[in-house]
């Protein structure tokens, strides 16, 4: 048996091999670190560089990388789903009521809504809510 000093924790330990560098507690840790370093190196090696030229694996055309996760050319990259626009959202969740207001009141109502930090729409809904609460 040899007595070695662990390079990680400095603890002396008994070992059958005179080339052992780490105690049995640190040996596992060292292996984990080594695996992680290897993995990181491998991943950074395969990550594509932005604005570098790549060959599309699907169609074989060369294209310029615009984002780190881009793997295919523009034609082969499936378009990302667009978030529904505000009007589409409104159509799906709200009905439209046209409200007539007395002449010259439009701007006043708008201004009032703004002073309350609301849209006119929100102001009317809030007013309706209050009316309901007070007249039930």
Residues of this chain that bind Zn ion (CB under 5 A): 6, 8-9, 23, 26, 56, 58-59, 72-73, 76
Integer Cα distance of 122 and 81 in angstroms: 29
CB of 80 to Zn ion, least distance (A): 16
9 vs 128, beta carbon nearer Zn ion: 9
What phi and psi, each to the nearest 5 degrees, are found at residue 23? -70, 170
23 vs 113, beta carbon nearer Zn ion: 23
CB of 56 to Zn ion, least distance (A): 3
1 within 8 A of 20, measured Cβ to Cβ:
no
50 vs 59, beta carbon nearer Zn ion: 59
CB of 77 to Zn ion, least distance (A): 8
Q: Which residue has the tokens 């046209």?
A: 98
Tell me which DSSP letter residue 76 carries. T
Integer Cα distance of 19 and 2 in angstroms: 9
């Amino acid at each position: 048996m040899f007595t070695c000093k662990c390079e990680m924790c400095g603890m002396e330990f008994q070992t059958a091999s005179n080339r052992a560098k780490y105690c049995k507690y640190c040996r596992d840790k060292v292996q984990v670190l080594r695996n992680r370093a290897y993995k990181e190196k491998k991943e950074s090696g395969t990550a594509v560089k932005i604005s570098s030229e790549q060959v599309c694996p699907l169609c074989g055309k060369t294209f310029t990388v615009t984002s780190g996760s881009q793997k295919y050319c523009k034609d082969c990259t499936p378009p990302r789903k667009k978030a529904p626009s505000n009007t589409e959202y409104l159509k799906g969740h709200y009905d439209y009521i046209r409200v007539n207001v007395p002449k010259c009141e439009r701007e006043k109502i708008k201004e009032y809504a703004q002073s309350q930090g609301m849209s006119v729409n929100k102001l009317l809904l809030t007013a309706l809510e209050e009316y309901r609460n007070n007249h039930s």
